[in-house]
Structure 1
């Protein structure tokens, strides 16, 4: 009953890939009807900041369609984009679980997005009364924090082109289709995600292209499986760790 009702109030579920739909259905498997009646779906344009660090955490967000990124401005005011999300997470859920009143990071859309919004108080009431939902949210939050801590630890040992290769490797794992990653070679965007200057990004891209580790087509970057494996071997050799 809940799944049919969920599909009724979230029509975008019929438009997204099967795996993502299953994530939504699993997340809200035990959600009560009163909670689902508070759902609000909103369409956001590319580049929209919908969560601002330091503002009151009064709403929980789920991304139905599209990509978003998390940004940190606290280090000398530098814009540092530290991750892009493609899984079904409760953005604002961490603040609920560890009882924080304000959002701890800034979230912005990378593409046009369909967003599900749930009032914080209703979401908190659900978690407080449903151990299955609480365990699920705690597990997802823990997995995310563990991944971020691991990536941060690795980046401590990577500089310049190696750091760019690490980012491209992660992008390949998440977004490659048919064994090929196709992405825009936006130097500023890569700079924001690596913490490197645009000049270093350009030199790194030129180096990878000359070494046959990437292919460029206009302003786009393409990486096939063989090129990905070469990057993985290079980074594994530096970190002496199974990636």
Structure 2
């Protein structure tokens, strides 16, 4: 959110924020709680999820450094957020940030862009869950993580997988066993290599893209949007 601001504007933003570090497993946004704060992640990985009526968990995204959490259409949070790894973030009081937005149009434009990303993420998730096979979902997921890293100036490989297989399953609408089996199959075909449970290296991007149904020049986008 800060990259388009001047030094003076950044100083004003810094004056209303608090820096915080939390440990893995800490839930810092509760679905249905008053949406009094917003969070700009500066390090670590967070899973965003909703609890269904039957108690199941639907992971709707994995957020990383640079992502913004806490945007809400109403007065309560629409989802919960839990740190997968140790996480650092800048925390803003909604009322203070709203006051600054009124004075600094650049921040308002950035917030609008984040809201648009939410809509795009929801659309991508619908396609991922509604039209793709398990194998296609796994391929899309790995490519999206890799593409996201590149867009943020990081290496395309290895692809970090700090989340559990269960978290991936809840995000992709699969079972944990299907996620593990699909990754093992892709490894057996020489398309990826696995380093434990928390990293994968894409060995054949073209073949993986073909499985995912991504044409040349396209890029999997769903993972790069705020949820």
TM-score between both structures, scaled by the size of structure 1: 0.76
1:167 maps to which residue?
141
When the two structures are aligned, how many residues end up with a matched partner?
A: 215
Matched, 1:227 2:210: no
SS at match of 1:209: helix
Unaligned runs of 5+ in 1: 1-22
The structural deviation recorded for 1:196 is 0.8
Within-5 A mapping of 1:15-94: 24-26=2-4, 31=9, 36-74=14-52, 76-86=54-64, 88-92=66-70, 94=71
Larger Rg: 1
Following superposition, the deviation at residue 164 of structure 1 comes to: 1.6
Q: Which residue of structure 2 aligns with residue 183 of structure 1?
A: 160
1:105 aligns with 2:79: yes
Deviations 1:51-93 (A, max 9, x none): 011000111111122222211212632112221123534322x
Superposed CA RMSD in Å reads 2.8
| Distance change >3 Å, CA 154–CA 182, structure 1 → 2 | closer
Summarize deviations over 1:164-192 as a string: whole Å, max 9, x none. Answer: 22212212222475442243584223212
CA distance in 2, matches of 1:39, 1:206: 44
SS, match of residue 180 in structure 1: coil
By how many angstroms is 1:242 displaced? Answer: 4.2
Which residue number in structure 2 is paired with residue 197 of structure 1?
A: 175
Question: What corresponds to 1:236 in structure 2?
Answer: 213
Q: Is the 8 A contact 1:214 1:221 kept in 2?
A: no
| 1:157 and 2:131 matched | yes
Counterpart Cα distance in 2 of 1:236 and 1:208:
15
CA contact (8 A) 1:27 1:136 kept: no
> Larger % of helix: which?
1
- Asked if 2 retains the 8 angstrom alpha-carbon contact of 1:236 and 1:242, the reply is no
User: Mind listing any 5+ residue stretches in structure 2 that lack a counterpart?
Assistant: 220-227
